[in-house]
Chains A and B, each alone.
Chain A
Amino acid sequence: MKPEPVQSSIFPRTDWAGLGQAANADTARLDQLIRQYWQPLRIFLIATFPSLKNDADTLLQDFAEDKILKDGWLRKADQNRGRFRDFLKMSLRNFVLDRLNRADAKNPPLSLDELEQEFPQPENSAEEFDLAWARTVLAETLRRMEADCKNPAADQPRRSHFWEMFRLRLLEPVFNDAEPPAYDQLIEQFHLKSPTDASNTLLSAKRIFKTHLNQVIKEYAGQDAATAAEIQALEHFLNRLANRD
């Protein structure tokens, strides 16, 4: 599976040509990543600094251009493989604090009340960020899986069955509390020749999901080991949150 092509940038002010040939691959990769995870970053920024809500998009854009793309940030992030999410979060927080400190130097300091509002619940904002991040990862995984299965150029004529089977047996029951269709109904709908055929169809669907999940995470986590660790971390996080709900 090929990575998704980089579409138009969300950073129109970025001068990609000026960043040099050597950095092109890295910057394009970062651009794509940040575009993909813009929403979790925005949620984290607003949850951590509620009073900056109206400036969130501008701050994020500045963060991407001034901090991430021009500060050897990617090299630092690469050294922290497996903790990309935390590194990104911490970098954004430090960037905004730095901006606030600079603003403080020019303007009168904030009142104590205002300061308290600025830093409400670091843990909560981190959780909101992680939850939004998990949602982004899963939505992107499903989007790619659906596109892959429905790709008319795919050499497997029954590939669209994988998505449909996955949707009916797993997605609809999970998200819509739908009753999974009876086995007999599946035989008819998908022209399944035997239970092995049925099981292989469902197993293939699960494998395609897993492959795309790995790919989406690998794009920011790096090596296979870090990707596996990140999947485990997301599982632990979601289960912890689910048990608390």
Chain B
Amino acid sequence: MQDSPPPAVTVKTTDMSEFDSSSAVFKSRANKLAALLATGEERTRLWRPDELAAIFRHQMAAPMLVDLGGFDARTANKIKTLSEAQGLLLKSFADLLHHPAPVKELLELAKDFAKANLDHPESGLPGEIAATLYYASIAAALVRLDARISQLPDADLQRGLKWTMNQAWLDEETKALLATAAEKLSGKPKGAGA
């Protein structure tokens, strides 16, 4: 499914200087106060489901060093070296995942970053985005390098790839990568039918 452009929205916000939180609180009824109190809960979802497409686009365009460099200084240096090696000039996650010959170690780091976010209860990265990055990294290694960077059993990996490619907000290029990986894993060449 192609991403359709978001509908035009009139954003009803006040200027920074105009918003008087005290006045807003004292004029508000209990339901609004309850909603404000609930915002302190970290478990509440940060982003709306209709924002996932934009968030994934942002993730794919994000410089790898920003996210992967957070592991440690040694890893950050390694990423810098690897992404600049052999004239690959891999800057973003999209560069890495859609490169015809990506660096395996970088795919592993991207997978580990995604997994760390998936497993961390306080991670703010939506689970759908982390899961997609996780399976897309595995898929890129399978498709471009004929390499397995995950120890997941085939059935679990297939399930994960299929779940990810069925996400409505996912771009076509990543869907195609996941579909090719799923076919490769099942031993069926692309277009061979059931």
Contact = CB atoms under 8 A, between A and B. Distances in A.
Nearest to B33: A238
B54 A138 contact: no
Given A143-B22, A182-B9, A194-B59, A242 B38 contact: no
Contacts of A134: 30, 33, 37
Most A C-beta atoms less than 10 A away, residue of B30, B54, B126 = B30
Interface in B45-75: 46-48, 51, 54-55, 58-59, 62-63, 66-67, 70
A210 interface: yes
Nearest to A239: B34
Given A175-B28, A198-B58, A238 B37 contact: yes
A195 B125 contact: yes
A196 B46 CA distance: 11
Interface string A129-148: 00100110011001100100
Contacts, number: 149
A138 B28 CA distance: 11
Given A184-B54, A241-B30, A199 B125 contact: yes
A185 to B, nearest CB: 8
A142 B70 CA distance: 31
A171 B24 contact: yes
Nearest to B123: A199
Given A138-B37, A174-B39, A183-B47, A196 B29 contact: no
Interface residues of B, number: 48
B192 interface: no
B81 interface: no
A245 B32 CA distance: 11
The majority secondary structure among interface residues of chain A is: helix
A178 B48 CA distance: 15
Contact of A195 (B35, B40, B58): B58
Contacts of A206: 39-40, 42
A179 interface: yes
A33 interface: no
Nearest to B19: A167
A193 interface: yes
Most chain B CB inside 10 Å of its own CB: which residue of A175, A187, A231: A175
30 contacts: A134-B30, A139-B22, A142-B22, A142-B25, A143-B22, A170-B36, A171-B21, A175-B25, A176-B12, A177-B12, A180-B48, A181-B11, A183-B47, A183-B51, A183-B54, A183-B58, A199-B125, A202-B46, A203-B42, A203-B122, A206-B39, A206-B40, A231-B37, A234-B37, A238-B33, A238-B37, A241-B30, A242-B34, A245-B29, A245-B30
Interface of B: 6, 9-14, 16, 19, 21-22, 24-26, 28-40, 42, 46-48, 51, 54-55, 58-59, 62-63, 66-67, 70, 117, 122-126, 129
A-B interface, 9 closest residue pairs, ranked by CB to CB distance from nearest: A199-B124, A194-B62, A241-B30, A242-B31, A142-B21, A238-B34, A178-B12, A175-B24, A183-B54
